[in-house]
Amino acid sequence: MKRRRGRTAAAALLAASLLAGCAPVAQNGDTVSLPAVVPAPASIEAGSGAPFRLTPDTTVTGEADAAATLAAIVEARAGFTPAKGGRESGIDLRIVPGSGAPESYRIAVDEASVVVTGADAAGLFYGVQTLGQLIARNSAGGGQQEGEDAEWTVPAVTIEDAPRFAYRGAMLDVARHFHPLETVKGYIDRAASLKLNALHLHLTDDQGWRIQLDSRPELTERASGTSVGGDSTEGQGTPGGFFTKAGYREIVEYAASRHMIVVPEIDMPGHTHAVGLAYPELAEEPTISDHMREIIRDYGGEEPRPGVPYEGMAVGFSSLKTRDEATYDFVADVFGELAAMTPGPYLHFGGDESLSTTDEDFAVFVARASEIIADLGKTPVAWHEAGAAAGLADTTIGQYWGYLTAQEGVSARARAFVDNGGQLILSPADAIYLDMKYPNGPELGLTWANGPTSIERAYTWEPSDIVDGIDDSGILGVEAPLWTETIRTAADIDTMAFPRAAAAAEAAWSPATGASDLRTWASFRERVGALGPLWTSMGIGFHPSDEIPWVTE
């Protein structure tokens, strides 16, 4: 298709729609084409005029941080940086306090200008992320062959947007396989581009302790050297590793620069075999159940032995000594030090799958752990099992990891957090556990949560339908966990997280299903497909699933 001079506004709009990564959407009975934005914004209206042309001479004015964020996206996507004080029409990036809800933004694009306003710095940052998705490559002078000059445009559009939930998380397990600083930073960039604002780091588990602490240096000295599969088993393992305190602070600062908090998790009283390597006196002997023997049979590896690093994939065999006061001194030391280096409000103490701790001991332990954290001035977070305990600190947040259709008992435990004064983070395992295998995908991943998990299943659910009796007021947010028993590299992380993390982000950010024409699987698959070129230019090695009509350039 040749680009003609003097085209009509309607023709220009059509051309922009075809070329600008737009997605068809049913609106009031008509099918209209709208620019593809993920997560779906609260409101988007296509303009009738010609698109804005983005060139090396485009001027960017306003907030310096936002301008730098935009420059990095334009550089990656289009290969040039817009000029400061250039000659052509411009992009203005402003914070207008009080202009909307926290984290909200507005974008207005016409042929002459792009104006992005945020109600705060986070809102402006999200506006810039959306603007990055709107940038489209049109080929000047005809087709899209090699060597032709590309023309970059932003379609005429008005977007007003604000998040549905305050907490929008991604969890990375750095315990089963350690993932180094650069990988974590990359994951922060990826998550922030989807408007996620919390990085939950699963820092400890049976296989390793990944955070250095001055009060308990033996933890990383003795329990961080290995990972699932050891460092030799058929190439499955990695040598392990840990974050120094300086490294952790670097993660916290990097996340903050992308408007994300870090939520550190120290899993207890189960998932603590590694603690026993450093402090045998705090750990019970491993309990070997029939379930464990099954896992060992299916996945290989040795039975856990006291004092020997565990390199298998079984869960539920370890417990701290919950009746020993020395254990609570340990809990206080660990969370005291973490509280001091974590500016975000949340400290996660695990509480999942403590299958070898009695119910009574578990209840006493989680109540005390939650109080220790609350006394530090932080908000405790625990997996939903802890909801069974009376005496949890009343601010405790529960993280639901049951299924889309909650089983008996699981809902009750989750509801208990809300009844107690807290809220829930929703991580339905059969939808947004990013470590579940894909259908027709790579060998990576597990299947226990009704896997394989399609992108359609990751997308097609409504947060207020998960736990009976819990509506938006009881929901703090949504989080997509990535457990790493089989996930060893940054490339593995990309494959498993993309595009399913985008489905989780839409549940966390966008209007409820039924409240927006965009909140359908049909719309999502088109919109996410339109992000292929942007993701590629950002270096995201997404899984090219055949469920999605990927746009290529």
Give the residues lining the site for ligand TNX (CB under 6 A).
315, 352-353, 383, 401, 433, 435, 446, 483, 485
Closest CB to ligand TNX among residues 398, 532:
398
Given 160, 285, 337, 353, the catalytic residue: 353
Sequence-distant (≥ 6) Cβ neighbours of residue 146 within 8 angstroms: none
Question: Cβ neighbours of residue 160 under 8 Å, at least 6 residues apart?
Answer: 41, 42, 43, 100, 104, 106
Q: Based on the number of CB atoms within 10 Å of its own CB, is 205 exposed (0-12), middle (13-18) or buried (19 or more)?
A: buried
- Measured from the CB of residue 352, what is the shortest distance to ligand TNX in angstroms? 3
Peptide bond preceding 499: is omega within 30 degrees of 0, i.e. cis?
yes
What are the Cα distances from residue 145, in Å, to 142, 259, 504, 543? 9, 39, 36, 25
Helix (H) and strand (E) counts for the chain? 17, 21
Closest contact distance (angstroms) between CB of 58 and ligand TNX is: 46
Instruction: Return the number of the residue (453 or 510) whose C-beta is nearest ligand TNX.
Output: 453
Decide: residue 299, CB within 10 A, 0-12 exposed, 13-18 middle, 19+ buried. middle
Question: In this complex, which beta carbon is closest to ligand TNX, that of residue 67 or of residue 458?
Answer: 458
What is the C-alpha separation between 349 and 373, in angstroms, rounded? 9
Residue 353 Cβ vs ligand TNX, minimum distance, rounded to whole Å: 5
Going by C-alpha positions, the residue among 431, 472, 468, 470 that lies closest to residue 453 is 431
Of the two residues 254 and 483, which places its CB atom closer to ligand TNX in the complex? 483
Q: Is 143 exposed, middle or buried (0-12, 13-18, 19+ CB in 10 A)?
A: exposed
What is the closest distance, in whole angstroms, from the C-beta atom of residue 208 to ligand TNX in the complex? Answer: 13
Judged by beta carbon, residue 362 or residue 433, the one nearer ligand TNX is 433
Rounded least distance, CB 336 to ligand TNX, Å: 24
Q: How far is the CB of 70 from ligand TNX (least distance, A)?
A: 37
232 membership: H or E segment, kind and range: none
- Report CA dihedral (264, 269, 273, 277) to the nearest 10 degrees: 80
Measured from the CB atom, the residue of 164 and 457 that comes closer to ligand TNX is 457
At its nearest, how many Å lie between ligand TNX and the CB of residue 385? 8
- The Cα 170–Cα 435 span in angstroms is 12
Length of the chain: 553
Burial class (CB in 10 A: 0-12, 13-18, 19+), 223: buried
Q: For residues 404 and 461, is the Cβ–Cβ distance under 8 A? A: yes
Between the two ends of the chain, the Cα-to-Cα distance in Å is 15
Shortest reach from residue 459's CB to ligand TNX, in Å:
19
Q: Of 43 and 450, which has the nearer Cβ to ligand TNX?
A: 450
- 80 vs 299, beta carbon nearer ligand TNX: 299
Distance CA 499, CA 93 (A): 29
**Is 353 designated active site?**
yes
CA distances from 67 to 123, 125, 153, 167, 547 (A): 14, 9, 18, 25, 35
Which residues are the active-site residues? 353
